[in-house]
Amino acid sequence: MLVVHPPSMRVEFSDTTPNEEHLLERLTMLENTLARLAERLEQGLKLLLRQSETAYANHALVKSLIEILSECGVVDNYSLESKWRAECDKLHDKEEAPPKRKSNPKRARKVSRKAAGGR
């Protein structure tokens, strides 16, 4: 049996070009990366929520203890609050102050020459 094909059927054309296939692969990789990122963000948000709930429970416990101690006359609320605010201010000041580094004058000159466009 002899089968005859027209000339147009002898050359096979693929549905997509290699460039399109490459782009599709890249898009698939990006979609997978985005899905993994979304999962990690969700995990991070869940962890943040748990931390928030724990901090709230700890805050309520400390507040209750302070109230009980102040009712018994063991703790002075004004003194406790002033000491607490002083500690908070110390922590806040530490966060704002950047660490000081001793700079080497020779290194500073080299960096400034490079920054100025010198070779």
DSSP codes, 25-44: HHHHHHHHHHHHHHHHHHHH
Average the pLDDT over 62-82 and give the result.
Answer: 91
Q: What local confidence, expressed as pLDDT, does residue 65 receive?
A: 93
Percentage of the chain with pLDDT > 90? 47
Q: Contact, 16 vs 24, CB < 8 A?
A: yes
Name the residue with tokens 């020779």.
Answer: 106
In the chain, the DSSP E strands lie at none
The 10s digit of each residue's pLDDT in 24-40 is 999 999 999 999 999 99
Per-residue pLDDT band at 94 (split at 50, 70, 90): confident
- For residue 58, is pLDDT > 50? yes
- For residue 69, is pLDDT > 80? yes
Predicted TM-score (pTM) of this structure: 0.52
In the chain, where the domains are located: 16-95
Q: How far apart are CA 6 and CA 95, in angstroms?
A: 79
Q: How far apart are CA 74 and CA 68, in angstroms?
A: 9
- Tokens of residue 113, six digits: 């020459």
Q: Contact, 75 vs 69, CB < 8 A?
A: yes
